[in-house]
Amino acid sequence: MNWHPDATDQDRDPLAVENAIFEAALQVSDRRQRAEFLDRVFRGDPAGRQAMEDLLGMAGSSAAFFLEGKLRTAELAREVIDEAPDDWQSQPDPVAAKGEQVGETIGRYRLVRKIGEGGCGEIFEAHQSGMVRPVALKIIRRGMDTESVVSRFEAERHALELMEHPNIARVIDAGRTPRGRPYFAMELVRGTKITSFCDAQGLGIRDRIELFLKVCQAIQHAHQKGIVHRDIKPSNILVENVDGASVPKVIDFGIAKAMEGGLRVRKEITVFDQFLGTPAYMSPEQIDMGGMDVDTRADIYSLGALLYELLAGCPPFDTDELLEAGITEMRRVLIEENPPLPSERVTAGEGPRWQGVTPSAREKWANQIRRELDWIVFKSMEKERNRRYLTVNSLTMDLRRFLNNEPVIARKPSRRYLMRKFFQRNRIACLLSGAVLVSLIAGFGTTTVLYLREREAMAEQARLKRKTQARANVSRAAILLSEGSVEEADRLLRTNPLETIDASPEAAEVFRALGRWNAIFSRWQQAAHCFHLMNDANRLGDKVRMAEEVDLLMAAPAYLEAGDRDAYREFRADVLERFVPAQNSLQAEHLLKVCLLLPADDEIIRRLESTVDACRAGHPTRSGIHGFPDWNALSLSLFYLRKSDLSRAVREAETCLSYPDRAGSRVAAARCVLAMSYYRMGLPDQAHQHLDEARSDLHWVESQIDESGFPPIGTWFAWSVVRILVREAEGMMGM
């Protein structure tokens, strides 16, 4: 094989040189010129020439074959062309190599300024003769000057002219420059890419989804016209401000399709843009089939990847890492691996968007996208395209359901599906393991079944015995409680696990009494456990009675006094599900108080809005007892504190203070609300004054508790609420 005289063994690896010759030969479409090129390169090496001919023949029908080359191959391919003898191919025009310049006129367009450059070509702002509105003129690099390529541009332009949509940047014209380079004249969009726009404007999740839905409408319009974009990514969706409204514009529609197979450039990312798309947003079938048999579902995958980045702050896959790994590893990752869920990415704080953001703020964002939005993204980015949304409209409708708080179609993948995918990836290992497992089951099956049946029978017998004993203990404990022997009743029930006791009104009464008794003596762990079992038993009772009496008021502070915040949050979620909305003022006052002992997120605040209205209305209860305005004012002040409406929180707390309070617990709780509100309003002196008074009242009550365990005045659970709020205020003020 011959080579240019300046080349040495130290300069080039032989295998890389052969790859470069292969790439160079592929770029010669004329068979006669290709034969002349090979004759000169392989002069004196007929065996090498024949091997290269065979290799070129095998490459004719395999798209994946072209993608398996190294990055260096494309560079050396140009060296082969440049260093080959002059007479095998015409040399490029040195004037044309300089490219177009500002001020030139191309057809009907005068170049005003250069606004972009990439591996595919250059983009200029241009003015059309006789028109005021500027256009974007994209001029493709050398190598796209054949008649067949220009004819593809023309056919693509006619297809794109069918699209008339406010969120699609139209392709206006196409042609060829005087130097023979194809160009597109497109609508000029003066905007920023959608992800940068959302971050710069500080858009929330709902606003980001609304913007994304406009993009979906544009893509659906294109699909209805029979056009697939195939390169949806943030840089191809620009957002501009039109009359005060944010308008996304999808650009480069169909250009990747028009360029397919006709451009070879140096930048590896452009090669992927050309053949398939951008790796981080590219559907598995685009890389698995080399761009063949790609339909509208590829765009749905890319839309899912775009939604992923809008929600998580980073793309599902890192493009640089994919490119560094090479095409084989990239194919494996895109075809087999799923990225972390968007909510998991947010919680982990991955990506520059979350730098400097507190964990609590990240968790608040993650909570809003966890579950439904995670599932919607996952369904859009399914590896099997038959499992994705069938149309962009289906994706749009599911997002609308989410915004309207309606059930979405997307669901978390089942275990059966995940196991099937694992089996497909590890077929041989699974078959071997299955064969071993079948052998073991066949050998020990009979013995195992008999042993398990015996154990099951013994366990069932022991369970029935415990349940019988537990029922007897509950009846005995009820008698002891009626006689005032609370301690003996508590000791009796501890002889059996409390969980074995069947739920019943009698059991609920026993647990209520034992929970209250343990709470009075500050045995908070035992009290919280009893109240938990009381709540389970109360499910058989009247919901109205439960919401209007003190069961909920005792259980909520008991969990927090025991230090079990997770148990309190589960209890709060159960209360919201079972009792909201409230039916009257008394229920509303109780529900607000038990649900807001800890800070609440926006979803909880939203669900309690109707309860606030009922609390303020003061309608009579079913039992004829009117709501108490003094306690209602305290619950309302707590709601507005959690909502961060501090001025209204102060107003309601001051109203609460205006009512006389013989016990003092209500006033002390209101002072805690005032302390936290004033502190957040930047009034630390007033805040410390109210907190000191609340602490003073609490310390006096605690110092007066005798051996009975009861506070000298008021109820134990009301003073527990004060203690919980005092701790929160002290933590807020750094005391």
Please state, as a whole number, how many other Cβ atoms lie within 10 Å of the Cβ of residue 235.
15
Q: Pick the closest to residue 561 from 521, 533, 524, 517 (CA basis).
A: 524
Please state, as a whole number, how many other Cβ atoms lie within 10 Å of the Cβ of residue 140.
24
Residue 133, CA distances (Å) to 125, 175, 250 in order = 10, 19, 19
The runs of H, that is alpha helices, within 483-504 are: 486-493
Q: Which amino acid is at 393?
A: N
> What backbone torsions phi and psi does residue 440 show, to the nearest 5 degrees?
-65, -40
| Token couple for 61 | 């029908």
| Token couple for 713 | 């005045």
Is 733 strand, coil or helix? Answer: helix
Please give the helix or strand (H or E) that residue 105 lies within, else none.
strand 105-106
Q: Which amino acid is at 182?
A: P
Instruction: Please give the Cα distance from 223 to 253 (Å, whole number).
Output: 11
C-beta of residue 585 within 8 angstroms of C-beta of residue 615: yes
Instruction: Please give the Cα distance from 23 to 6 (Å, whole number).
Output: 20
| Token couple for 175 | 């042609």
Q: Which amino acid is at 71?
A: L
Q: Which residues of 321-352 are buried (b: 16+ CB within 10 A; e: fewer)?
A: ebbeeebeebbebbeeeebebbbebbbeeeee
Instruction: Please give the Cα distance from 576 to 601 (Å, whole number).
Output: 13
Please state, as a whole number, how many other Cβ atoms lie within 10 Å of the Cβ of residue 450.
10
Residue 484, CA distances (Å) to 58, 102, 339, 520 in order = 95, 98, 61, 15
| Token couple for 219 | 């893509």
Cis peptide before 581 (omega within 30 of 0): yes
| Token couple for 10 | 């130290």
> What backbone torsions phi and psi does residue 143 show, to the nearest 5 degrees?
110, -10
Q: Pick the closest to residue 74 from 139, 144, 21 (CA basis).
A: 21
**DSSP string covering 322-336:** HHHH-HHHHHHHHHH
The label of the residue with tokens 């009512």 reads 659
Q: Can 692 be counted among the known catalytic residues?
A: no
Catalytic residue, chosen from 231, 551, 564, 630, is 231
Instruction: Please give the Cα distance from 339 to 321 (Å, whole number).
Output: 13
Q: How many residues appear in the chain?
A: 735
Instruction: Please give the Cα distance from 60 to 403 (Å, whole number).
Output: 50
Instruction: Please give the Cα distance from 360 to 345 (Å, whole number).
Output: 14
Q: Which residues pair with 263 in a beta bridge?
A: none
Start-to-end CA span in the chain (Å): 83
Q: How far is CA 719 from the centre of its chain?
A: 42
Reported for 398-404, long-range contacts at CB under 8 A and 24+ positions apart, including other chains, are 399/209, 399/212, 399/213, 399/216, 400/213, 402/209, 402/372, 402/373, 402/376, 403/206, 403/209, 403/210
Is 97 strand, coil or helix? Answer: helix
Q: Which residues pair with 242 in a beta bridge?
A: 245
Give the residue numbers marked as catalytic.
231
